[in-house]
Amino acid sequence: MFISSQNSPPSFKDFTLVMPAVAVGNVGQLAVDLVISTLNMSRVGHLHTDCLIPMAGNNPYATCKEDAEELHTPAEVYTAAELKLAVLQIRAPIVQTKSKRFRQLLVSWIKSSGFARTVVLSSSHAYQRDDQQLQGTPLRYLVTPSLLKVSADALKELGWREMERVPAFPGLTDADAEPRLCVPGGGITKGLYADSCAEDIPLAVLLLFCSEGDNIPDAFTLVNHLNDWLHLLGSHSQESSKWKMPSSWSLLFGSGIPPALF
């Protein structure tokens, strides 16, 4: 359920929604952090659900002491009205037994809000790629038939590479076995894409093959890939320097090495 933080609920009609999937390396969430921080987006509400592990914390995008004390929750919505852009940031893992219910909640909210298109930023285990996925760029995309109708030319011009379907039984060729979509480590990515196809929702998935570790460079790669399409910051130039890292990233790997160790 979406709960507005304003007196009158915001209208998302014809907005583009960008959201992450909680996936390997948290690349989608880090990329969304960069979008919110760089565009100085305004928080307009949150999703209230028991499908996410409950948590709360200080403002991850604080710029001064006063706004650092704001309380933030696991699933919040931000907007940049001038760009007709909305962003859903998910900061907590999905309760394992409630993954399907959470996808249903998202699909219902996306449909009722009237978003023109939804873009899911995700990632997948690099070590589980098959031979064809080892070649070329580590970036892939998926698009629902509903969005393909209006974005086919743009995607063709970008020259992006679609996520490959893999054999149902790796190493075996069976004419009767249809290749299947597989996104290992992608969380709800595959399920949300399938749900959106079934519900005729215009949705795209942008994902990156990666490994766990310092995934900040991966986040920059993914958000620049998104920018090629949506032009949030204009054309490419000095790619990483255009994006503003939020203050919360200063503690991404803890508070440093205690001097007492030495």
Per-residue confidence (pLDDT) for residue 176, from 0 to 100: 54
CA-CA distance, 185 to 143, in Å (whole number)? Answer: 19
CATH T-level topology, domain 12-251: Rossmann fold (3.40.50)
| Distance from the Cα of residue 36 to its chain's centroid | 12
Give the pLDDT confidence score for residue 45 in this predicted structure.
93
What pLDDT is stored for residue 165 in this prediction?
A: 86
- DSSP assignment of 60-123: TT--SHHHHT-EE-SEEEEEEGGGTEEEEEE-SPBPGGGHHHHHHHHHHHHHHHT-SEEEEEEE
Give pLDDT, residue 174: 56
Which of 40, 58, 64 lies closest to 244, judged by CA?
40
Q: Which residues of the chain have pLDDT under 50?
A: 236-237
Q: What pLDDT, on a 0 to 100 scale, did the predictor assign at position 237? A: 47
